[in-house]
Amino acid sequence: MIATFANAVKCIPLMTGVKNEAEYKKALELIEYLVDRDDLSNPLFEPLAAKIAEYENSAPEFEVFNRRLAEISTGIAALRTLMDQHGLKAADLVDELGSKSNVSNILSGRRALTVQHIKALAARFNVPADLFI
């Protein structure tokens, strides 16, 4: 109980907003603390996560990252996430996407996924096809 109260007290200043990198790191530590304890229903979790997101969306150090993220198609982002979760490399998707160079072009955004690619990926990962659209 005391540990929870101590963390709540640390969190209170952050609830008005994360204003700098030091506060950002503290906020991330608190979120990790709640996640590690499977305490996502804690009333501090959602407001704190929102303040972290606000900081990440507006801080200059995230500007390039946010711009690049906005340029990535959601289908490719989903594919990259699935690859990461399954420990796959580009060469592992040759059966679904064609040659290794074709896989590379798709992952870099130089080439779009075709309907055939999308169906093959949906079958491989057992996810809805519209995830890649």
Global pTM value:
0.54
Q: Where are the domains of the chain?
A: 2-67, 73-132
Token pair belonging to 91: 């060469």
CA distance 131 to 133: 6
Which residue bears the tokens 């530590």?
A: 29
The answer to whether the Cα torsion of 101, 107, 109, 111 is positive or negative is positive
State the virtual CA torsion across 129, 109, 91, 75 in degrees, nearest 10: -20
pLDDT digits (tens, 9 = 90+) for 23-34: 999 989 988 988
Report domain 73-132's class. mainly alpha
Task: Tell me which of 70 and 110 has the higher pLDDT.
Answer: 110
The SS3 call for residue 131 is helix
